[in-house]
Structure 1
Amino acid sequence: MAYFSIQNSRLARPQTQTVMRVMCGIAVFIFTISMTAAQSPFEERHAGNNHHERKTASQRVNVVQNLLGIKIEGNVSIPRSTIMPYIKSHPQRPANPAQVKKDISALYGTGWFSSVRSTYRMKEKGPLLVFQVVESPIVKKVEYRGNKKIKDKHLAANTGLKRGSAFNIHSNKDAVSRLEKFYHEKGFFFAKVKLIKGDRNDDREVIFRINEGPKVRVTKIKFTGNKFFRDSVLKLKMKTKTAILWKFSGLYNPETIPEDIVALKEYYHSLGFFDVRIKQKVSFTKGKGYVTIEYKIKEGIRYKLRKVEYIGNNIFSSKQLSEESKLRAGDYFDTRKMTKDVAAIKDRYGKLGRLFATVQATPRFLETPGQADLELRINEDKVYIIRKIDVNIRGDQTHTKRSVALNAGTISPGDLADPKEIMRSKARIEGLQIFERGGEKGVQIHINRVEKSAQKKPVFRGQNKSFPRSYPRRKTAPPVRRKLRKVSPRYRTQRTTRRRSVFRGQSEELANPFEKKQNSYRAPANPFRENNSFRENNRVSTRTAPSIQRRLRTSSRTTPRSSSQTIPYHSAVGSEAVPQPYQTIQQQSHTDDLGLSHPVNPLFETSPQGDLYGDTVRQEYPNLVDIIVEPTEARTGRLMFGVGVNSDAGVVGSIVLDERNFDLFRPPRTIGDLLDGNAWRGAGQRFRIEAVPGSQLSRYMVNWSDPYVFDTNYSLGLSGFFFSRFYDDWTEQRLGGRISIGRQFTPFFSLNASLRLEQVEVSNPRVPTPPELAASVGEAFLSTIKLNATYDQRDSSFLPSEGYILRAGYEQAFGDFSYPRFNAKANTYWTVRSRHDGAGKHIVSLGGEIAWTGDDTPIFENYFAGGFSTFRGFDFRGIGPDTGGVKTGGKFMALGSVEYRFPLMANEMFHGVVFSDFGTVENDVALDNFRVTVGAGVRIMVPAMGPVPLAFDFAVPLTSLSSDERRLFSFYMGFTK
């Protein structure tokens, strides 16, 4: 109405206008008075109540008044001195409502009070702040009765009850169940706990009565009805373990039995026993201290495949896909083989750049018992090309260069996006031992699909901006794949703590090959697991995309979300790409993001009707992805102490200082660099200082190496050493250094060239001294140049089971001695037998070595054989040319060995070996004095002592010479911490 009256004031009469002005003035005066009254002083307030009582003027406190004091009311058993430290409001300071609220929260947090309220009382000298509290019951005593095997302090830590804590009946009753669970976890399955005091409101003491009972251990696990698998194999799949000597380990936990049954069923399902049924029976001894668990198994029929069907494959025919198939029609169903087949199919498509191709394997059960069809449904997807690769090292204060991770990868911008190569790059980055491995902190790979709108359009000088994103190509052009220049995958970058740089090959104007080199790496097999209702679900789903990242992760970056789309890649979501500066395309060039040059019509835009300069068709823009690598820095420095003993070198100790992320060119600039650990670190180089003192052998060495020197594929190594060895016939000392340069040409083939400079001293020769030894007594300078080639196709560097390795080298000495030297060595491995699940491998290995050196070779460079590492059955350096009882070594050596290795236990901790070593060492190229030994031994795997097993071998010679020194037993033991 007021608004209407004002707008229409021109129509009113003068008297009416005067009345309205008076009324408006009165209204403004009343409003001012009411607002003044609303601004009341600090009123008395009660925390915890929803209503506010009306206060009188005498009760109001001005916020600027200082508090007269603080008073506690309602406390009976808790003294004021105990309460006051939790109150931060102070007398003689102005009242602060926010601080009073914090004080109330602090008092509630003690657990001593069930109610806390605050109020102000006006006194003559000022306001008094009063906290009115209602005490909660307090525990005066906590007692555990009957516990003999577990101490009170462990029980108290489990219940959380202690003298002076708040008394709560529900907490006391809950403590009973917690104590029983705690006892059960410790193996006291029959333990019972009763609350005899503390369950009433007037109680102030909490007392538990405990009947511990015996500690129950599993002494035996039996299986009945299992015909296909041995008991020892089935036990490997279970969490429940038997006790050792009835006193150690093997605690009984009934909660693990259902989990064991599920694991056993999954194991049977993986090999085609889809109808398996398993029940358990638990039997206790009379004293209930020991238990026997029996699993009754009905294996049922093992299913065979009637046919294997491929669906959705257009690029490859079903015949092509089945050529290397491990699982064929008529075979028994085997998850391990099926997984390998799925991985092989995925690899085929991956090599074509079909990054997101999927293969889903589904067994279809038939009405005929024991028969099923295997359906492999393929989604071929599209071809993707890597646009750029970025590295973001996670951490607050990182010091590692981004080029360290980039150099280790096998992929480059412009390559086809092969998931196998992406996974291999991830494994190589983890293999640097610079970044964390596995888990959330492990190396994460994010793959971002670049949207069409984010792909930069070509820019032409003087051309219309609306030029269509299409690339003309003549219909008559031959279907020849373009060969373009290769962008090197090595990058020179700055540290992550500095300004981010633009790397070579990382901008959006990429010039990279359309072709991808073919590699034959074995894809990791994905485990096949299914629930108990496998047959009923009637479906097996296998995801074959590499497990690059298991957690969904996001990353805040500067690139707008509209520019790139994050693609889930086997439960992975990649972060968005970091934008790179655009480059200006000069003159009339027409190139796309991959540097592909196409003919351009400078006058007319392309159209479906063609143009004046040629008959063209549209070419689809390539599908691009960005790859973001996110590693987390790990601890790279180690100080290790070790001890070892073997039959060749006696007892040796080991002290090693090792840094795997060294930077030779980053000395400390400030004290902070040393304290923060930034000095001498960050370039991925390796620095190692090693001291190995021993009873017969001592070695001291300093070594520096860079696997990607100057961000190239070349490696560089520098080392200096001192070596001392007490041989039976003389004492030898070497002081020198070595420079080596290497190159990894392929994942399997590498070359290495080295220069060796040594000062050698031979002393304490045996008397009488043969001429060969006398000629070398004293000091000599040895210098050689050596070239080594290695081709390694083994599946593992430790304990390989498949593949082979070939090594050959040529060395030329100059200086005090001048002679050529040649050696070649080969080892191959076969798995001749294994369990149905692929474990328990029986491995046959065959190895041979041949070496020759020139006539001017000094005695300390001759070839010797014998001992654990070269020729078992003989003593260290126990065979070869002999002059007057002194082993002088030979100019020619030919050695060989064949070994059969097999597991002695289902868990493969113990292996047995049967072997034969053969060969000879001669002064000339000949096999006149050929020796042969046969023997057997044991290998013991101890994870805490490193990847190399303990070895104990017995060997006897079948053919030998009278001058040979025999040894029946040889061994190796080592430990590093």
Structure 2
Amino acid sequence: MEVVMRSYCLIVWPICTAIVLGLSTFSYAQLGGSRNLPGPTLDGGPSFRSRLIAEGGPQYSDSKGKIVRTVRVTGNRLVPENEIRTHLRTRENLRFDPEVVEADVRRLVSSGRVRHVRTFVEDGAAGVTVTFNVSEVATIGYIRILGNRSYLDRTLLGKTGLKNNEPMNRFSVSEGKRRLEDHYRERGYGNVQVSVFEGDKPEHRGIVYVVSEGTRERVGGVNFEGNHFLSDARLKTLIQSKPAILWTFRGVVDRDKIDQDVDRLTAYYRNFGYFQTRIGRELQFDEDKKWLTLKFVIDEGKRYKVRSVTVNGNERFTVESLMEQLDLKSGNYFDVKTMNHDVNALRDAYGIQGHIFADIQAEPRFFEEPGWIDLVYNVSEGEAFRVGQINVKIVGENPHTKRSVVWNRLSVRPMDICDIQKIRNSERRLVQSQLFEHNLAAGITPRIVIQPPDLTEIERLSQRPIDNRRVRGQSP
């Protein structure tokens, strides 16, 4: 169930008309020019066609317009000739056109199956013979993995992301090697080494990886040193690197997760005003290199206090009235949770007066003097709104609930001040009525959606009489 409220502004709406002009340009970029346009030239220099001929390229001028007798494809060993011919527009019994031949070359190279194409034209009495000599891109003929003991070949082949008959190049081979190493390291094989035995040279027809797995590492214990503000038990709930369960399950060493734990702990300390906190980690393995004792070394630093709190951009309310809504005051220790609570309090103060789209941004300002910050709340009040049209949308397999049932649980009516607190109370009553499905895990719940007005809606509402029907109301 969804209630859509369209609001309109209490004051005169500023109207902006934006006109966007789209300018389209057409460029013709054909190799060697087109039939109606000359080929590209350098300023005062020879044309592309002249430079191509000077470099030993094919000369088509004498053969242009003649009938193509034969089209040949040479040099291909892996790519079928039929596949190559699907990219060609130069065909038998059609007139020869050098520009069509050049377009064929571009299509072949763009297909990814051909690395280089040379063309040869033989002009005979019966017609023109065009030969396309291709240099193929190497394709993967086979993929093998040697030395793996902990994982099946099928599992590791899927991790490489490579498949047979795909183009083979150094990048794809190197990327497959990296993925194999990541797969092992994420599962505790921190010393794994993967080498490319075959596949890094042009003459190779397949890829062979050799894996040296090493020893699987597990976390045996986690310690903290230097923490005073937060206990070890609290810090352990924040990290992902945890000891193995019963020395068997989970607890694998993942160095990327350890680095993420350092960042997570640092961010958590800063939420409480410890902006100079530094955290390091020590990895201590046993003699067999199987069990790790992970130690986080913490330098908490000084906790910052709020020197002053100011509000900018407010016009509807005085600074004093807004400051009464704040819990984080001058002299208090900085706390992100309290600061966010104050942001919501200021937003609600504006929301109950119709400024439902007010934007409040908190800005901590640091100074050279450590230990103190200034906290500034920047306010963009926006316009004040009244409730316009209220649409009730009830969905389901066979919805039978009357819309008046929803209306009776709403605390706002058209032309009322758009009070965010009343809207929340109305939404809460709809949930508590148990008439509609409420499943937060699935994202299904009765909700009230507030949409800003448009000019068409405002004009229509101004010509419509106010709905003064009586409905039964309920208190929050």
Shift, 1:155, TM fit:
3.2
Partner amino acid, structure 2, of 1:509? Q
The 1:72–1:308 alpha-carbon spacing in structure 2 relative to 1, beyond 3 Å, is closer
Partner amino acid, structure 2, of 1:87? R
For 2:368 and 2:71, the matched residues in 1 are separated by 86
User: Which of 85, 88, 105 is 1:87 aligned to?
Assistant: 85
Q: Decide whether the 8 Å contact of 1:363 with 1:375 is kept in 2.
A: yes
Whether 1:242 and 2:246 are equivalent positions in the alignment is no
Whether 1:335 and 2:341 are equivalent positions in the alignment is no
Name the counterpart of 1:54: 60
The 1:74–1:244 alpha-carbon spacing in structure 2 relative to 1, beyond 3 Å, is same
Shift, 1:352, TM fit:
1.0
Render the CA deviation track for 1:378-402: whole Å, top value 9, x for unaligned: 4545423355578999xxxxx999x
Partner amino acid, structure 2, of 1:142? I
Q: Decide whether the 8 Å contact of 2:122 with 2:128 is kept in 1.
A: yes
Shift, 1:340, TM fit:
1.9
1:788-807 equivalent positions in 2, closer than 5 A = none
Q: Decide whether the 8 Å contact of 1:86 with 1:106 is kept in 2.
A: no
The 1:329–1:56 alpha-carbon spacing in structure 2 relative to 1, beyond 3 Å, is closer
Name the counterpart of 1:509: 463
User: Which of 444, 452, 455 is 1:447 aligned to?
Assistant: 452
Name the counterpart of 1:551: none
The 1:232–1:385 alpha-carbon spacing in structure 2 relative to 1, beyond 3 Å, is same
Partner amino acid, structure 2, of 1:78? L
For 2:116 and 2:475, the matched residues in 1 are separated by 72
For 2:449 and 2:107, the matched residues in 1 are separated by 43
Q: Decide whether the 8 Å contact of 2:284 with 2:292 is kept in 1.
A: yes
- Give the unaligned 5+ runs of structure 1: 1-37, 40-45, 394-398, 457-505, 514-594, 596-711, 715-742, 749-977
Shift, 1:72, TM fit:
2.2
Name the counterpart of 2:227: 226
Name the counterpart of 2:351: 350
1:386-401 equivalent positions in 2, closer than 5 A = 386-387=387-388
Shift, 1:427, TM fit:
9.3
- Matched length: 408
SS at match of 1:156: helix
Render the CA deviation track for 1:429-460: whole Å, top value 9, x for unaligned: 9986799977xxx9986635759xx975xxxx
Q: Decide whether the 8 Å contact of 2:58 with 2:121 is kept in 1.
A: no
Name the counterpart of 1:78: 78
Name the counterpart of 2:40: none
For 2:145 and 2:332, the matched residues in 1 are separated by 63
1:1-12 equivalent positions in 2, closer than 5 A = none
For 2:238 and 2:107, the matched residues in 1 are separated by 52
Q: Decide whether the 8 Å contact of 1:139 with 1:164 is kept in 2.
A: yes
For 1:713 and 1:69, the matched residues in 2 are separated by 89
For 1:293 and 1:147, the matched residues in 2 are separated by 28
Render the CA deviation track for 1:237-262: whole Å, top value 9, x for unaligned: 33434332233333322223333223
Name the counterpart of 1:299: 300
Structure with a larger share of its residues in strand: 1
Q: Decide whether the 8 Å contact of 1:278 with 1:298 is kept in 2.
A: yes
The 1:241–1:509 alpha-carbon spacing in structure 2 relative to 1, beyond 3 Å, is farther
SS at match of 1:292: strand
Partner amino acid, structure 2, of 1:219? G
Name the counterpart of 1:282: 283
- Give the unaligned 5+ runs of structure 2: 1-34, 37-48
SS at match of 1:218: strand
Q: Decide whether the 8 Å contact of 1:303 with 1:333 is kept in 2.
A: yes
Name the counterpart of 1:971: none
The 1:274–1:428 alpha-carbon spacing in structure 2 relative to 1, beyond 3 Å, is farther
Name the counterpart of 1:383: 384
Q: Decide whether the 8 Å contact of 1:435 with 1:443 is kept in 2.
A: no
Q: Decide whether the 8 Å contact of 1:104 with 1:116 is kept in 2.
A: yes
Render the CA deviation track for 1:472-520: whole Å, top value 9, x for unaligned: xxxxxxxxxxxxxxxxxxxxxxxxxxxxxxxxxx64425559xxxxxxx
1:206-221 equivalent positions in 2, closer than 5 A = 206-221=207-222
SS at match of 1:255: helix
For 2:474 and 2:96, the matched residues in 1 are separated by 74
1:537-576 equivalent positions in 2, closer than 5 A = none
SS at match of 2:143: strand
Q: Decide whether the 8 Å contact of 2:75 with 2:135 is kept in 1.
A: yes
The 1:139–1:344 alpha-carbon spacing in structure 2 relative to 1, beyond 3 Å, is closer
The 1:93–1:410 alpha-carbon spacing in structure 2 relative to 1, beyond 3 Å, is farther
1:368-379 equivalent positions in 2, closer than 5 A = 374-379=375-380
Name the counterpart of 2:169: 168
Whether 1:272 and 2:269 are equivalent positions in the alignment is no
SS at match of 1:293: strand
SS at match of 1:355: coil
Q: Percent identity between the aligned chains?
A: 28
The 1:167–1:436 alpha-carbon spacing in structure 2 relative to 1, beyond 3 Å, is same
Partner amino acid, structure 2, of 1:216? E
Q: Decide whether the 8 Å contact of 1:349 with 1:357 is kept in 2.
A: yes
The 1:338–1:161 alpha-carbon spacing in structure 2 relative to 1, beyond 3 Å, is closer
SS at match of 2:452: strand
The 1:277–1:170 alpha-carbon spacing in structure 2 relative to 1, beyond 3 Å, is closer
For 1:443 and 1:78, the matched residues in 2 are separated by 62
1:577-656 equivalent positions in 2, closer than 5 A = none
Whether 1:259 and 2:257 are equivalent positions in the alignment is no
For 2:363 and 2:399, the matched residues in 1 are separated by 45
The 1:184–1:747 alpha-carbon spacing in structure 2 relative to 1, beyond 3 Å, is farther
Partner amino acid, structure 2, of 1:201? P
SS at match of 1:359: strand
Q: Decide whether the 8 Å contact of 2:66 with 2:96 is kept in 1.
A: no
Shift, 1:347, TM fit:
0.9
The 1:319–1:179 alpha-carbon spacing in structure 2 relative to 1, beyond 3 Å, is same
Render the CA deviation track for 1:908-963: whole Å, top value 9, x for unaligned: xxxxxxxxxxxxxxxxxxxxxxxxxxxxxxxxxxxxxxxxxxxxxxxxxxxxxxxx
Partner amino acid, structure 1, of 2:60? R
The 1:342–1:284 alpha-carbon spacing in structure 2 relative to 1, beyond 3 Å, is same
SS at match of 1:84: helix
The 1:131–1:364 alpha-carbon spacing in structure 2 relative to 1, beyond 3 Å, is closer
For 1:313 and 1:418, the matched residues in 2 are separated by 19
For 1:220 and 1:83, the matched residues in 2 are separated by 63
Q: Decide whether the 8 Å contact of 2:65 with 2:95 is kept in 1.
A: no
Render the CA deviation track for 1:207-243: whole Å, top value 9, x for unaligned: 3221111232323221122223222322333343433
Name the counterpart of 2:42: none
The 1:350–1:189 alpha-carbon spacing in structure 2 relative to 1, beyond 3 Å, is same
SS at match of 1:385: strand
Shift, 1:191, TM fit:
0.8
Render the CA deviation track for 1:13-42: whole Å, top value 9, x for unaligned: xxxxxxxxxxxxxxxxxxxxxxxxx99xxx
TM-score by length of 2: 0.65
Q: Which has the higher contact order (CA 8 A, sep 6+)?
A: 2
For 2:426 and 2:118, the matched residues in 1 are separated by 64
Partner amino acid, structure 1, of 2:336? T
For 1:294 and 1:110, the matched residues in 2 are separated by 54
Shift, 1:105, TM fit:
6.8
The 1:124–1:182 alpha-carbon spacing in structure 2 relative to 1, beyond 3 Å, is farther
For 2:305 and 2:341, the matched residues in 1 are separated by 18
For 1:56 and 1:154, the matched residues in 2 are separated by 59
Name the counterpart of 1:573: none
For 2:288 and 2:384, the matched residues in 1 are separated by 69
For 2:417 and 2:330, the matched residues in 1 are separated by 34
Q: Decide whether the 8 Å contact of 1:86 with 1:103 is kept in 2.
A: no
Render the CA deviation track for 1:847-901: whole Å, top value 9, x for unaligned: xxxxxxxxxxxxxxxxxxxxxxxxxxxxxxxxxxxxxxxxxxxxxxxxxxxxxxx
Name the counterpart of 1:416: 417
Q: Decide whether the 8 Å contact of 1:184 with 1:253 is kept in 2.
A: yes
The 1:255–1:132 alpha-carbon spacing in structure 2 relative to 1, beyond 3 Å, is same
